[in-house]
Amino acid sequence: MKYSYYPGCAQHGTAVDYRISVEAVFGRLGIELEEIKNWNCCGALHVPDRTVKTALCARTLASAKGLDMATPCNLCYSNLMRTNTALQDNVLRTMVNEALTEKYDGNTKPKHLLEVIVKDLGLPKLMEFVKQPLKIKAVPYYGCLLTRPENNFDSPEDPKSLDNLISSLGAEPVKYYYKTKCCAGPILITNEDLALGLAKELLAMAKETGADCIVVTCPMCHLQLDAKQKAVEAKFNIKIDLPIIYFTQLMGLAMGFDPKELGLSRHLVPTDKLIAKIGGK
Partner 1 sequence: MKKEPLSPESRDPAFKEQVLKTPAGEKIQTCMQCGICAGSCPVSHEMDHSPRELVRMVQLGLKREVLSSNTIWICTTCFSCSVRCPRGIHPTELMEMLKPIAIAEGIRNKNIKFDNVFSDVIKNNGRASEFLLISKYSLTEPGMINQLPFGLSMMAKGKIPLSIDRMENTRELDAIFKLGEKTGEPKKESKETKEKDKQPEQTKPEENEIAEGEAKK
Return the residues of window 200-259 that contact partner 1 according to CB under 8 A: 227-228, 231
By CB under 8 A, tell whether 123 contacts partner 1. Answer: yes
Integer angstrom CA distances of residue 158 from 37, 131, 147, 162, 163: 36, 30, 10, 11, 10
By CB under 8 A, tell whether 266 contacts partner 1. Answer: yes
Q: Is the Cβ of residue 150 or residue 258 nearer to partner 1 in the bound state? A: 150
With CB under 8 A as the rule, give the number of residues binding partner 1: 79
Strand 172-173 vs strand 137-140: parallel, antiparallel, or unpaired? parallel
> Per-residue x/- mask for partner 1, residues 35 to 74, rule CB under 8 A?
--xxxxx-xxxxxxxxxx--xx--x---------------
Among 186, 243, 252, 259, binds partner 1 (CB under 8 A): 186
Environment class of residue 7 by beta-carbon count within 10 Å: exposed (0-12), middle (13-18) or buried (19+)? buried
Among 1, 2, 34, 95, binds partner 1 (CB under 8 A): 95
Residue 170 Cβ, how far from partner 1 at the closest point, in Å?
9
Segment interacting with partner 1, rule: CB under 8 A, options 81-89, 207-215, 249-257, 272-280: 81-89
By CB under 8 A, tell whether 86 contacts partner 1. Answer: yes
Environment class of residue 177 by beta-carbon count within 10 Å: exposed (0-12), middle (13-18) or buried (19+)? exposed
By CB under 8 A, tell whether 83 contacts partner 1. Answer: no
Segment interacting with partner 1, rule: CB under 8 A, options 65-73, 150-158, 206-214, 249-257: 150-158
- H helix intervals, the chain: 16-29, 50-62, 74-86, 90-97, 113-115, 123-127, 161-168, 192-208, 219-222, 229-236, 247-254, 272-278
d(CA 117, CA 120): 6
DSSP string, 226-253: IITHHHHHHHHT------EEEHHHHHHH
By CB under 8 A, tell whether 135 contacts partner 1. Answer: no
Q: Is the Cβ of residue 99 or residue 276 nearer to partner 1 in the bound state? A: 99
d(CA 126, CA 180): 24
By CB under 8 A, tell whether 181 contacts partner 1. Answer: yes
Among 25, 31, 69, 96, binds partner 1 (CB under 8 A): 96
Segment interacting with partner 1, rule: CB under 8 A, options 27-35, 99-107, 207-215, 239-247: 99-107
Segment interacting with partner 1, rule: CB under 8 A, options 21-29, 144-152, 208-216, 243-251: 144-152
Contact yes or no for 112/217 (Cβ under 8 A): yes
By CB under 8 A, tell whether 130 contacts partner 1. Answer: no
Reduced to 3 states (helix: H, G, I; strand: E, B; else coil), residue 160 is coil
